[in-house]
Amino acid sequence: MLAHELAAYADRSDALVLALPRGGVPVAYEVATQLHLPLDAYAVRKLGVPGQEELAMGALAADGSCVLDRGLIAALRIPPEAVDAAVERELAELRRRETAYRDGRSELSIAHKTVILVDDGLATGATMHAAVQALRTHEPAAIVVAVPVGSPEACSGLRAIADRVVCPYEPEHFGAVGMHYENFAQTSDDGVRRLLREAALGGCRS
């Protein structure tokens, strides 16, 4: 259903699919295969406020791209050393994931491309929001957020910052992402590596 909604992007040389690891990778693999588009992972970590980790004070990508909510940081009087510590901690995890997932392959060029950013679903939308913020620093032509299912509130919030949001199913009583899957088994690092390797070898257009 999600790939059908994205059919206008099929076979376009200026488009690619980026997955948010780990859960977004199996979904993105199917989308990229159906649309004959290249696939890559885009690992992003939300920078949580110390003591309130679910509240984002910024976003960090594996290449070091960092977007900070300086207004929030100032309002909560978060000291610079606490921000630096959060960035250092999350950057280490991001680089571990990049090394684990990429198997030595170069990352796809994002600049001036239409990027279809895929996850398995949107509950609060905080992680996707962080990803869109970080991705903007790479100057894509457009960012299309694409998920099979999402809460109406999260989708509405992302429509304010993404160029387009594609979500075929927005149930009023959302609950959790896993409630809308028959199989919501956790995706492993090995599973991510396998799908990205298959995509690079021809599962999706390279």
How many domains does the chain contain in total?
2
Q: Say what the pLDDT of residue 37 is.
A: 96
SS3 per-residue string spanning 75-113: HCCCCHHHHHHHHHHHHHHHHHHHHHHHCCCCCCCCCCC
Q: Say what the pLDDT of residue 58 is.
A: 83
Q: Are 112 and 158 within one domain?
A: yes
CATH of the domain at 70: 3.30.1310.20
For residue 45, how many C-alpha atoms fall within 13 Å in the half-sphere facing its CB?
21
Q: Say what the pLDDT of residue 111 is.
A: 94
Q: Are 131 and 190 within one domain?
A: yes
Q: Say what the pLDDT of residue 206 is.
A: 44
Q: Are 22 and 121 within one domain?
A: yes
Burial zone of 21 (CB within 10 Å; 0-12 exposed, 13-18 middle, 19+ buried) = buried
Q: Say what the pLDDT of residue 205 is.
A: 53
Report the sign of the C-alpha dihedral through residues 99, 104, 136, 152, in that order: negative
Q: Are 13 and 27 within one domain?
A: yes
Q: What is the pTM of this model?
A: 0.83
> Which range of residues forms the domain containing residue 85?
45-101
Instruction: Give the domain-ending residue among 85, 101, 117.
Output: 101
Q: Are 135 and 163 within one domain?
A: yes
CA pair distance 57, 99, nearest whole angstrom = 26
Q: Are 7 and 30 within one domain?
A: yes
Q: Say what the pLDDT of residue 25 is.
A: 95
CATH of the domain at 179: 3.40.50.2020
Q: Tokens 């990803």, residue?
A: 131
Q: Say what the pLDDT of residue 140 is.
A: 97
Q: Are 73 and 54 within one domain?
A: yes
Dihedral of CA atoms 92, 95, 99, 104 in degrees, nearest 10, equals -150
Q: Are 144 and 182 within one domain?
A: yes
CA pair distance 65, 159, nearest whole angstrom = 22
Q: Which stretches in the chain have pLDDT values below 50? A: 206
